[in-house]
Amino acid sequence: MKKLHVEICDVTLRDGEQTPGVTFTREDKMEIASLLDATGVEVIEAGFPAVSAKEQEAVRAVCRMDLGARICALSRARKGDVDAALDCGVDMIGLFAATSDLHIRTKYKKSREEVMAETCAMIEYAHDHGVQVRFGAEDASRTDLKDLIDAYRQATEAGADLATFADTVGCMTPMETFERMQAIRREVDLPLCIHCHDDLGCATANTLVAAEAGAFQLHTTVNGLGERAGNTPLEEVLVVLATKAGINRYDLSQIGALSDLVARTSGVEVARNKAVVGANAFAHESGIHIAALLEDPSTYEYYRPALVGRERTFVLGKHTGRHAIEHVAASLGYHLNDEGVRWVLHEVKRRSEAKCNVTPEVLRDLLCTAVRGREVRG
């Protein structure tokens, strides 16, 4: 991966909160914002102030935390929305308008010219109040390229500081994203932002190829929260930037705690096989794998779990080997002879094949029995 000039705008507190059934309290937002800031995220999108008085209060509270990150709020191209954001004391306003024919026809029932005139007037208004203005083209991925570039140019003339390409329905593939971003970079002078949804499972890949094509601000959410299938996961992007692009300014050791916090406050559990933060991300059962890992962890782990605030675990089951039994027994303070290891391994495999979980309690019972030398018949 080539050297990248990027920053992260995490939108967990806004787009992540648009996950069906998710609501963050003011205290939740402040706690999450604090950890995002500790991680080194440059921009935190704290919310959509015009939604409600409580939302405005929560965004204002995050702004008053005096974090290192710049605080952004979302706004439609409406004076009331912009004023609500300004009243919070934000550093940046993400002012968006739909640019695709489908959205303009369905949502606005106005001409493209009218929509852009109203949008540019609000960009000017926000800009005149001394905040950074990020113009977001909603449904950019289904907008004709000529119309999209024209919208960005008008936003530039109105005073926008950044321009967002939003793959609102997650319909892009990596190659499409790369080509589209390159085309826009050739025509638009503003720093570009990429905002991806994961409807086709391409959000992380799309975000990273957009960065390679010249996108500057990468939008993410913790654990990939977001509407429908979610947004680009922060944890995946940060690990790729560290391991592939040599970007080491983020404190990845905060990722585990951040993931756990967002899972708890959102009520949305992380899939066990989720990259980086899932329970199985650093769990190993195969005897062949565990034997090699005990010699050199890099044999079956591309990066160490400690990098992201996690720990390696060995799961005992059908595929477990004697090395795993010996290692786990020793780590728990049990010293088994060869016969004891064979017996415990046999019991673990037997129970696993019968679809009986080898819980920590069951394992301790087996190890105690093996140490005492008792014969157990199943």
pLDDT at 377 over 70: no
pLDDT of residue 378: 38
Do residue 320 and residue 351 come from a single domain?
Answer: yes
CATH number of the CATH domain containing 122:
3.20.20.70
pLDDT of residue 312: 82
Last residue of a domain, one of 231, 266, 301: 266
DSSP state of 17: G
Region 43-51: mean pLDDT is 98
Helix (H, G, I), strand (E, B) or coil at 120: helix
Do residue 259 and residue 307 come from a single domain?
Answer: no
Last residue of a domain, one of 239, 266, 293: 266
Do residue 290 and residue 250 come from a single domain?
Answer: no
Please state, rounded to an integer, the average pLDDT across all residues of the chain. Answer: 92
Asked if residue 226 lies in contact with residue 16, where contact means CB atoms within 8 angstroms, the answer is yes
Residue type, 169: V
pLDDT of residue 300: 81
Do residue 76 and residue 165 come from a single domain?
Answer: yes
Do residue 182 and residue 317 come from a single domain?
Answer: no
Cα separation, 336 vs 331, whole angstroms = 12
* Strand pairing class (70-76; 313-314): unpaired
pLDDT of residue 374: 43
Beta bridge partners of 73: 47, 93
Helix (H, G, I), strand (E, B) or coil at 320: coil
Asked if residue 209 lies in contact with residue 178, where contact means CB atoms within 8 angstroms, the answer is yes
Region 19-25: mean pLDDT is 96
Beta bridge partners of 71: 44
pLDDT at 254 over 90: yes
DSSP state of 231: B
pLDDT of residue 376: 41
Do residue 200 and residue 143 come from a single domain?
Answer: yes
Is there a domain that residue 272 lies in? no
Q: Taking Cα atoms as reference points, which of 291, 288, 279 lies closest to residue 328?
A: 291
Asked if residue 54 lies in contact with residue 20, where contact means CB atoms within 8 angstroms, the answer is no
pLDDT of residue 364: 80
Last residue of a domain, one of 266, 295, 327: 266
DSSP state of 108: I
Is there a domain that residue 109 lies in? yes
pLDDT at 69 over 90: yes
Domain count, the chain: 2
Do residue 226 and residue 332 come from a single domain?
Answer: no
pLDDT of residue 287: 60
What are the pLDDT digits (tens) for 101-138? 999 999 999 999 999 999 999 999 999 999 999 999 99
Give the confidence band of 360 by pLDDT, cuts at 50, 70, 90: low
Q: Taking Cα atoms as reference points, which of 203, 145, 190, 195 lies closest to residue 165?
A: 195
24-28, 218-222, 350-354, range with the lowest pLDDT: 350-354
Is there a domain that residue 378 lies in? no
What are the pLDDT digits (tens) for 312-334? 877 777 777 787 788 877 877 88
99-103, 180-184, 226-230, 369-373, range with the lowest pLDDT: 369-373
pTM: 0.88
Do residue 287 and residue 244 come from a single domain?
Answer: no
Tell me which residue range forms the domain holding 40.
Answer: 7-266
pLDDT at 375 over 60: no
pLDDT at 343 over 90: no
pLDDT of residue 209: 98
Is there a domain that residue 288 lies in? yes
Give the confidence band of 185 by pLDDT, cuts at 50, 70, 90: very high
Do residue 232 and residue 320 come from a single domain?
Answer: no
Is there a domain that residue 35 lies in? yes
Q: Taking Cα atoms as reference points, which of 119, 20, 249, 215 lies closest to residue 196?
A: 215
- Winning range, highest mean pLDDT, from 226-230, 290-294, 312-316: 226-230
Dihedral in degrees, nearest 10, Cα atoms 248, 253, 255, 256: 160
Is there a domain that residue 274 lies in? no
Is there a domain that residue 16 lies in? yes
69-78, 82-91, 255-264, 275-284, range with the lowest pLDDT: 275-284
Q: Taking Cα atoms as reference points, which of 148, 116, 150, 121 lies closest to residue 133?
A: 121
Asked if residue 316 lies in contact with residue 328, where contact means CB atoms within 8 angstroms, the answer is yes
Is there a domain that residue 315 lies in? yes
Do residue 241 and residue 309 come from a single domain?
Answer: no
Exposure string (b/e) for 279-301, b if CB count within 10 Å is 16 or more? eebbbbbbbebbbbbeeeeeeeb
Region 154-176: mean pLDDT is 98
pLDDT at 359 over 70: no
Do residue 257 and residue 366 come from a single domain?
Answer: no
User: What does R_g of the chain's alpha carbons equal in angstroms?
Assistant: 25
pLDDT of residue 356: 64
Asked if residue 201 lies in contact with residue 229, where contact means CB atoms within 8 angstroms, the answer is yes
Region 272-288: mean pLDDT is 84
Q: Taking Cα atoms as reference points, which of 341, 240, 328 lies closest to residue 283?
A: 328
Do residue 247 and residue 307 come from a single domain?
Answer: no
Asked if residue 293 lies in contact with residue 328, where contact means CB atoms within 8 angstroms, the answer is no
